[in-house]
Amino acid sequence: MTTNDELFARGQAVIPGGVNSPVRAFGSVGGTPYFVARGEGAHVVDVEGRRYVDYVQSYGASILGHAHPAVVAAVQAAAAEGSTFGAPTEREVLLAEELVARVPGMEMVRLVSSGTEATMSAIRLARGATGRRTIVKFAGNYHGHADALLVAGGSSVAEQATSDSAGVTSGAVADTVVAPYNEVPPLDEDVAVVIVEPVAANMGLVPPADGFLQGLRDACDAVGALLMFDEVITGFRLGVGGATERFGVAPDLWAFGKVIGGGLPVGAFGGRRDVMERLAPLGPVYQAGTLSGNPLATAAGLTVLRELDADAYERLDGIAGRLADGLTSAIGGAGLDVQVPRVGPLVGLFFGADPVTDFVTAKVSAETGTYRRFFRAMLDRGVALAPGPYEALFPSLAHTDEDVDRTVTAAAEAATEIARA
Ligand SMILES: *Cc1c(COP(=O)(O)O)cnc(C)c1O
C-alpha cells in the first residue's frame, strides 16, 4: 500500500515542498499531510484508507460536498463532448447569465480560470477604467497571488516570514496601500479601486463591523474610486446573492472563484456595464485565457448553482449553526478560551479570550499555538480542519447532523487533552 509518508517523500523530490499550494504541506501544524485518494460528500479518504470528516472542502470550492452525483454526471457528459475548443460555447453564456441574475447590481461578467486571475484582471480593469494607479487593500485579506496584491495577505501568506513574497519588486507594490480591516481608510483621487473581502475569510473568519462596507461605499463615491468585493469565498456561499445581497451594499466590481467552478478551475469578475465594457475586445483593457469558460468547468459550475436555491442556503446555515454552537460549548466546556465567529454558512475558530476584529488580533490568536495542537488532536480523531490558523471552516451541504455531532464529540476530547497538558 502507498503511504502518506512515502508519497510526501516522493513529492518533495520533484515538487517544491511536495505540494502545489503551500498550506497543503502542513508547515504550520506539523506532520505529514494526508494524500487524498477520494472524496465522498462530507468525507475524504486518504491513500492509507483513513476517513476524515472534511471541513477543508477545497477551501470552499466544494459546497455540495465531494463527488456530488449531479456534478459527476455533468462533467462526464461534458468531457465526452470535448473539453476545450478556443471558440465560445453555450454553457459560458448560461453561466454568465446565472451569475448576473443572482448578484444584485452586477451587469456583466467575464469568466477566467482562478480567483487569482479574477482579482488580477479586475484590478487592471479598475486602473484602466479610472486612469488612476493606487489600489487599497486590507491587512489580512487575501486576493490570490498576483504581485500587486501580495502585500499583508492572509491565508498561508500570513505564515511567511514577511507578508510580502520574495520576487515581488517594490515597483510592483508601490501603488498598493494597505489599511487595517474594519476601519474605513482615508482615500484620495489617486485611488483607482478599494478591494475588500466583504467577510474576511483568510485570517480565520472576521465579520465586517457594522457600517464598514457602507463606509467604504461612501468613501469611494466621495473621491470617484471604484469599490471591489472579492467574493471568491463569500460569493454563492453566503446566500443566493452573496455578500452584496446579505449586507445590502453593492460594489462596482466583483471577483468570484471557488463555488462557481463546482470543484473545477473557474473564476469570474464582473461589474457595472460601463466599467466592464472597457475590457477587450470592446475596450482598451487587455485580458484573455486559453481555458477561460472551459466546457467542463462551466458544466460543473452550472450544476452546482442550480442546486443552490434559498432552501439549500437555509439548510447550510443550519449545519453551520449546529457546528458553531457545538464547537463553542465543547471547547469552552473543556476550559479553553475560544471564539467561534459565524457568518451564515462560514465558521471561524480562534483560540484566546479576546475578540478578533482584524489581522493584528487574528495574529495574537494564531500565535498562541493552540490551533496547531487542536488541529492535530482532531486529525487523530478523524476530523480534517484546515492545516493553518488563518483559514475558515467550510461545512458543506453534505455534512449530516451525525457528521457534525461526531466533530463536536472529537472537539470536546481534543480540547480536554489540550487543557490537561
Ligand atoms: C482563494 C481566494 C482567492 C484566490 O483564488 P485562487 O483560485 O486560489 O487563485 C482570492 N480571493 C479570495 C478571497 C480567496 O479566498
The active-site residue out of 34, 52, 142, 181 is: 142
The range of the structural domain enclosing residue 42 comes to 4-63+309-420
d(CA 329, ligand 1 centre) in Å: 31
Same domain as 390, residue 289? no
Strand 43-46 vs strand 51-54: parallel, antiparallel, or unpaired? Answer: antiparallel
Asked if residue 197 has its Cβ within 6 Å of ligand 1, the reply is: yes
Per-residue pLDDT, 164: 67
98 lines ligand 1 (CB under 6 A): no
Residues 151 and 219 both lie in one domain: yes
**One domain for residues 93 and 189:** yes
Instruction: Let me know whether 222 and 251 are in one domain.
Output: yes
Q: Are residues 51 and 74 in the same domain?
A: no
Q: What is the pLDDT of residue 163?
A: 46
The reported pTM is 0.96
Which of 260, 291, 307 is the C-terminal boundary of a domain?
307
The total number of structural domains that make up the chain: 2
- For residue 237, the number of C-alpha atoms closer than 13 Å in the C-beta half-sphere is 34
Determine the pLDDT at residue 162. Answer: 43
- Quick one: which atom of ligand 1 is closest to the CA of 234? 13
Q: 165 and 43 share a domain?
A: no
> 123, 144 in Cβ contact below 8 A?
no
The question of whether 142 is a catalytic residue gets the answer yes
Q: Which of 291, 307, 323 is the last residue of a domain?
A: 307
**Per-residue model confidence (pLDDT) at position 165:** 86
**Which bin fits 84, alpha (ψ -120 to 50), beta or left (φ > 0)?**
beta
Query: Within this chain, do residues 77 and 26 fall inside the same structural domain, yes or no?
Result: no
Same domain as 392, residue 293: no
The predicted structure's pLDDT at residue 161: 40
Domain check: are 336 and 201 in the same one?
Answer: no
The pLDDT value given to residue 421 = 87
What backbone torsions phi and psi does residue 35 show, to the nearest 5 degrees? -95, 120
Cβ neighbour number for residue 17 with a 10 Å cutoff: 15
From first to last of its 421 residues, the chain has per-residue pLDDT tens of 899 999 999 999 999 999 999 999 999 999 999 999 999 999 999 999 999 999 999 999 999 999 999 999 999 999 999 999 999 999 999 999 999 999 999 999 999 999 999 999 999 999 999 999 999 999 999 999 999 998 877 666 655 544 468 888 888 888 999 999 999 999 999 999 999 999 999 999 999 999 999 999 999 999 999 999 999 999 999 999 999 999 999 999 999 999 999 999 999 999 999 999 999 999 999 999 999 999 999 999 999 999 999 999 999 999 999 999 999 999 999 999 999 999 999 999 999 999 999 999 999 999 999 999 999 999 999 999 999 999 999 999 999 999 999 999 999 999 999 999 8
First to last CA, the chain: 35
Angle value at C-alpha 419, between 342 and 28, nearest 5 degrees: 65
CA of 202 to the centre of ligand 1 (A): 9
pLDDT for 158: 59
Residue 293 sits in a domain of what CATH number?
3.40.640.10
Task: Supply the CATH number for residue 37's domain.
Answer: 3.90.1150.10
> CA angle, corner 304, sides to 125 and 54, nearest 5?
100
Q: What is the pLDDT of residue 19?
A: 97
Is 309 among the residues known to form the active site? no
Which of 285, 307, 329 is the last residue before a domain boundary?
Answer: 307
- Distance between CA atoms of 206 and 197, rounded to whole angstroms? 10
Does 284 share its domain with 301? yes
The pLDDT of residue 303 is 98
Q: Are residues 303 and 203 in the same domain?
A: yes
Residues 149 and 223 in one domain: yes
What whole-number distance in Å separates Cα of residue 53 and Cα of residue 384?
Answer: 6
